[in-house]
Amino acid sequence: MVFLSPEELHAYEHFTFTQPRLQRVKDLFIFCYYTGLVYTELSRLGHKHVQKGFDGMLWINMKREKTSKDFSIPLLPLAEALINKYQSKEPL
């Protein structure tokens, strides 16, 4: 298995594509990286899944695609920023 080094991830996060489509794909990859969601879960993600948790922070609450088990993921600041970036546009 090949993993990104912290330096490679940082470079990727700060790279700006000139084509909006590629920038969106990059943003989706970064969002998945920081949330642990797989593509099928990301494609089902909606506003109803993002809720304020017991700690006052935003959390993603969904069911796993394969197992149908509930899971909760804290929304880290970078993932939250990406949600806010696309909130006025079409959903992530």
Contacts of 86 (CB under 8 A, 6+ apart): 27, 92
Q: What is the pTM of this model?
A: 0.85
- Kindly list the domain boundaries of the chain, sorted by start residue: 6-87
Contacts of 39 (CB under 8 A, 6+ apart): 32
Residue 5 has pLDDT above 90, yes or no: yes
* The pLDDT of residue 65: 79
Nearest to residue 84, comparing CAs of 39, 54, 55, 50?
Answer: 50
pLDDT digits (tens, 9 = 90+) for 31-72: 999 999 998 999 999 999 999 999 999 999 999 878 989 999
